[in-house]
Amino acid sequence: MSTATAIEPRPRPNKRRFSTADAGRRRDTLSCQHLPQSLDALDLSTGLAKETLASLRFLILSYLADLETSLSHLESSVSDFGADLLKAKGELKVRTWAKVALEMLDNIRTDVRSHLPEFHLRDVSVESVKSHLPELPDVASLNEMRSRLPDMDDFRARLPDFSLADMSARLDDARTRFSDLDIQPLLYVPVLSNRLQSLHAHLSSLERPSGIGVPSLPSNSILSNLVDALLSSELVAELKEDVDEAEVLFDLASQDIKNAVKRSFEGSRLIQYCDLPLKWRHNPFVTRGYRFIPIENWPLIIMSLFSLHNETLNIHTHLIPFIMWSTSLIPFINSTTFGVDGPEVAFTAFALVCLFASVLYHTMSGCAHPAGLDFCSKVDYVGIGWLISATAGTVVYYGFQCYPHIGQVFLVCCLLTGIAGNVFPFMDWFNKYEYRIWRVVFFVSMALTNVVPLATLTYLHGTEQMFRFTNTFWTSIFSYITGLVFYITRFPECLIVNRKCARWLDSIGLGSHAIWHFFIVLAISQHKAAIGHMRNGIEGCVAR
């Protein structure tokens, strides 16, 4: 994750876009019908390079116009399709769906007109573009289109094949002809691809009632191929290396935030994954139940602690134990606090820091303020780092009571790893989505610092004595590892295909992250119990 002044572009995809984020879930939805990959309508081997982006602008505006015409039928209950669908799904729901789609469409159209070049194209029109494609059935109404849909397989079979690699090669060959082109349209291509993907995901979000024929929305396969080819070519990457794109991308990201706030009605309703700006997209398997509250409406952020959304369990799995264990550190509530030794109090304190940082981050994850989200995510990582260091520190403190000088060296090492856990989260690369696995590797490496002290104990006291000393310690390690497996694999949400079940889980946040939180709390509890056993030190050892 980045700061508000440096919004990173989304990594270029290696596969086709315009699919919903949860493509793995097989849902019966109102979807856009795709044509095979064919770009014969665009001959990029001839003509000026500017015509590539200008042709993209022309095709997008034409597609949006066709799409707007299709959606306009939902505004009238006279249409047979509209009447059936309105009756089955509810007029308010369908009209709201269509209204949001039209708003997204209008925003894309405004941005395209603003960022992509416009000039006269030789003999280019919708008819001339269609003339390069196989003949489409001429339908006068949506009902007639519906009656012709069974023949679409034969139509698709007659379409020519086209290799996307050939398209990329053509774009690379045209690279030198972009030297006189304003760089901003090229920087806008990744953002355009994301917004078209979000629009398509929204169009696919309305469940189709059984027994009702649904007309096809305009195909976007040509746009998909062209945008993906631009993104996959070296053209965009090489030119972007020579420009400062931060300001452009920041402006575009700010517009995405404004649109998402608008869809959430200033934070008063939950939105879907496809409605979120890129910065807020972390788990594509969680498709709904997202808060997006402006920082100005901070009371709503606080009140969301007591409402249902996809972060509810992520918050309360750490908030409840934080409150319970905090009482053990307050002498006026628990008089036995003074009877607890320093290492146990220190471990409990660092565990509470970790739990509070987690609660803070998951509460603020629904805030539409990039800088605030960044800071809270970094604080969350800091809390995890100190919990790992404190866990290792208690083992070192109690295990080296017979060799305090060696123990002090290892305690300094634990302190240094804790400091590293404070520094790395504030590096720009650390919070980026593409480094998610490396973050896991970093924290696992911190935990592995326990290996050297344990190996030293084995050398000094023998394997049997070392395992007797740590036999209760391994249960907490097992809990940490089990929770980490859930976090990395995103199980179970990655395998859920039942739409109702997925919606229920998303409504309260019962997913891999909440399960990971549960195992963290279990591991902390187990380690607190293990401290009572490790406090006695290694058998036969007399503290010096």
Task: Say if residue 517 carries a ligand binding annotation.
Answer: yes
The answer to whether the CB of 364 falls within 8 A of the CB of 372 is yes
- d(Cα 443, Cα 523) in Å, to the nearest integer? 16
Residues 6 or more apart whose CB falls under 8 angstroms from that of 444 comprise 484
Q: In 113-139, which positions are buried (b, 16+ CB within 10 angstroms) versus exposed (e)?
A: eebbeeeebeeeeeeebeeeeeeeeee
- Identify any residues that bridge with 217 across adjacent strands, giving them in sequence order: 32
How far is Cα of residue 345 from the mean position of the Cα atoms in its chain? 37
State how far the Cα of 160 lies from the Cα of 324, in Å rounded to an integer.
66
What b/e sequence results for 492-521 when a residue is b if at least 16 CB atoms lie within 10 Å of its CB, and e otherwise?
A: bbeebeebeebeebbebbbbbbbbbbbbbb
**Which of 292, 438, 527, 370 has the alpha carbon at shortest distance from 8?**
370
CA dist., res. 505 & res. 494, Å (int): 12
DSSP state of 448: G
Phi, psi of 132, deg, nearest 5: -85, -10
Backbone φ and ψ for 22, nearest 5 degrees, come out as: -105, 55
513 is in an annotated binding site: yes
Which DSSP string corresponds to 136-186?
PP--SSHHHHHHHGGGHHHHHHTSPP--HHHHHHHHHHTGGGGTTS-SHHH
Q: Is the preceding peptide bond at 160 cis, omega within 30 degrees of 0?
A: no
Q: Is 461 annotated as a binding residue?
A: no
Q: Binding site: which residues?
A: 362, 513, 517
Binding residues for Zn(2+): 362, 513, 517
